[in-house]
A and B are shown apart, each in its own frame.
Chain A
Amino acid sequence: MVVRLNNKYLKIAGKKLKSRLIVGTGKYKNFLETAKAVKASAADMVTVAVRRINITDKKKPILTDYLNPKKIIYLPNTAGCFSSEEALRTLRLAREMGGWKLVKLEVLGDKKNLYPNMIETIKSTKTLVKEGFKVMVYCTDDPLLARQLEDLGASAIMPLASPIGSGLGLQNKINLSMIIKQSKVPVIVDAGIGTASDATIAMEMGCDGVLINSAIANAKRPVLMAKAFKDAVISGRNAYLAERMRKKYSASASSPLKGMI
C-alpha cells in the first residue's frame, strides 16, 4: 500500500485545502442553515450551481450574502446538465462570473439514477482542459475510465459511492480502491455517502477527500451532522495514515499471560 503521507493539505490543482471534506450547498431549508452547516463542517470548498437570476424578486436573499466567495472556495458544478454542450456552457458562464478556473464537471446520463454519462464526460473534460479549466470530474467507478480522465488532464477524480442523494454509502469498495491505488491526482468520493461512518471508511481506504451534500442537508439536524462529517473525515484520514493492524482469523489476547495469579 502506498500511503500518501502528505497529510497537511488536500492539494487540488495547486489549491491547498486544510479540510478534506468538501460540502454541497443544495437542499438546505434556507441560506442561514446552509451557512451554519458549512461553518460546522469546517470545509474550505463548497460546490455551487449556476442558474438564472430571479429578475422579478430581487429582495430574495442570495447565496453570496451568506457564504463569502472570498473566504470560502466556490466550486462551480454542472449538476443538472445532461450533455457536454450544457455542461460547457455552464462552466464558461461560471468562469466569466468570477474568474473561476477550478470547476466540477458532472454530466448526467439518466434522470432516474443520475448516473454520469461517461462518453459526454470524457468529451467535456477534453474541451475544458484545452480551454485552461482545472476540472474535477464526477465519474463512474470504472478504473479504466478514471485513468482515462487522469490522462486527459483531470485535476481530481470523483467517483460515486452509490447514486447521488441515495445515502446508500460505499457500494463499490473494490473499484474505489483500484482507482485510489492507480491515481496520481486526488480521488474524492462524490455522491451516495449516507452518514459519517461512510466517510470514515472512504478515508480509511485512502481517498484524498469526500464530497457531501444530501447526507448533511437531509439529516434531521444538519449542523450537527456537518460536525460529525468533519470529525469522521479527520478520523478516517488519521486511521489511514496510522496503517491499521492486519486482520487475523484467530484471537490474540491483549493482556500478557505472565504474572497471572
Chain B
Amino acid sequence: MAKIQLNGKKISIKSNSSILDLLKKYKLNNKKIAIEHNGTIIQKINYNKKILKNDDKLEVVHFIGGG
C-alpha cells in the first residue's frame, strides 16, 4: 500500500500503482484532465510510467465554468 494525497485528500492505493492505474480506479477520462505530480505537470503519455509513492501529492484538474 502507498498513502498519497489526491486533490488534497489522503487516500491509500496499491503499491506500484501508476497514475494510469489511479485514473482507471476512479474512472477518470484522461483526455479531459491535467495532472500535477509533486508540483510537476505529467504529460499524458507518461501516465502509465509514473509510479506513485508514499506521500506523493497529486492534483487532477479539469475545466469548469468561469468568467
Contact = CB atoms under 8 A, between A and B. Distances in A.
B28 A58 contact: yes
Given A62-B32, A64-B32, A50 B65 contact: no
Interface residues of B, number: 25
A48 B6 contact: no
A126 interface: no
- Residue from B28, B41, B60, B61 with most neighbouring chain A CB atoms (10 Å): B61
Given A27-B67, A97-B33, A164-B67, A51 B61 contact: yes
Interface string B26-39: 11100111111000
Contacts of A63: 63-65
B18 to A, nearest CB: 17
Contacts of A92: 41
Contacts of A49: 63-67
Contacts of B66: 24-26, 47-49, 77, 79
Interface size bracket, A side: 35 or more
A25 B65 contact: yes
A225 to B, nearest CB: 15
Contact of A55 (B6, B34, B35, B41): B6
B6 A93 contact: no
Contacts of B8: 52
A209 interface: no
A97 B35 CA distance: 8
B65 A53 contact: no
A31 B62 CA distance: 15
A127 to B, nearest CB: 15
Q: Which 9 A-B pairs have the closest CB atoms?
A: A49-B66, A24-B67, A213-B67, A25-B65, A96-B34, A97-B34, A93-B34, A48-B63, A52-B7
26 contacts: A27-B65, A28-B65, A34-B65, A48-B66, A49-B64, A49-B65, A50-B61, A50-B63, A53-B28, A55-B7, A55-B60, A62-B32, A63-B65, A64-B32, A64-B62, A69-B63, A77-B66, A79-B67, A89-B36, A93-B34, A94-B34, A96-B34, A97-B32, A97-B63, A98-B31, A214-B67
Given A63-B63, A96-B34, 10 more contacts: A24-B67, A26-B66, A48-B66, A53-B33, A53-B62, A55-B9, A62-B64, A63-B65, A96-B35, A96-B41
